Amino acid sequence: MADFVIRRSPVKPCDCNLARSFELIGDRWMLLILRSAMYGVRRFDDFQAELDVPRSVLSARLAALVDSGIMERREYREEGQRARIEYPLTKMGNQLGLPFFAMTEWGDRWLAEGEPHFGLRSRANGQKLRVALVDERGRPVKPQDVQFVVDDKVWPPEEPDKARRKSR
């Protein structure tokens, strides 16, 4: 796009909500724990066995997830069993489904070995679903039509011809 050099991103990491998300969950174990959680895994030992994550790390990560409101720590009791703990996703946690599925599609496209195992489908008409950018009326938009906007201005800015004169 821009053929002049961009030296800084227009949104400082510290007030970027994407960067903030990454601070919270941008860590291999976090992400893998959340992946399992999306599929319905809820118990300490089940996460541990599925991922083979060190128990101390799992313990720390679950605490952080609860702490940030992505999971909840809850006692439950199956009939005739003693009380146990489960870690279900909250609504906040569940809404990670969309970014995760977008990421899955990326993985399907670029990292797949064989056919993907997982997909989404419409209960209404059985069609396969995919992630897309849509406008306010819900109409999909072509990639070439997508513009970045930062604080209501288009990014990157048009190269002003001066750019060449007033160096750096």
Partner DNA sequence: AAGCCTGAGTTCAAAATATGGACTCATTGG
Partner DNA sequence: CCAATGAGTCCATATTTTGAACTCAGGCTT
Q: Interface residues for a second copy in 115-154 (CB under 8 A)?
A: 116-125, 127-141, 144-151, 154
Task: Give, for 18, the enclosing helix (H) or strand (E).
Answer: helix 17-25
Residue 32 has phi, psi (to 5 degrees) of -70, -40
* Residue 53 binding: pick among a second copy, DNA, none (C-beta 5-8 Å cut-off by kind): DNA
Binding flag, residue 83, a second copy (CB under 8 A): no
* Residue 130 binding: pick among DNA, a second copy, none (C-beta 5-8 Å cut-off by kind): a second copy
How many residues bind a second copy (CB under 8 A)? The answer is 95
Q: What is the DSSP letter of 1?
A: -
Provide the binding-site residues for DNA, judged by CB under 7 A. Answer: 27, 29, 43-46, 52-57, 59-60, 62, 73, 80-86
The nearer residue to DNA, 51 or 101, going by C-beta atoms, is 51
Binding flag, residue 23, a second copy (CB under 8 A): yes
Cα end-to-end span (Å), the chain: 18
Task: Give, for 46, the enclosing helix (H) or strand (E).
Answer: helix 44-51
Binding flag, residue 162, a second copy (CB under 8 A): no
134 neighbors 128 (Cβ within 8 angstroms) = no
**61 CB neighbour count, 10 Å cutoff:** 22
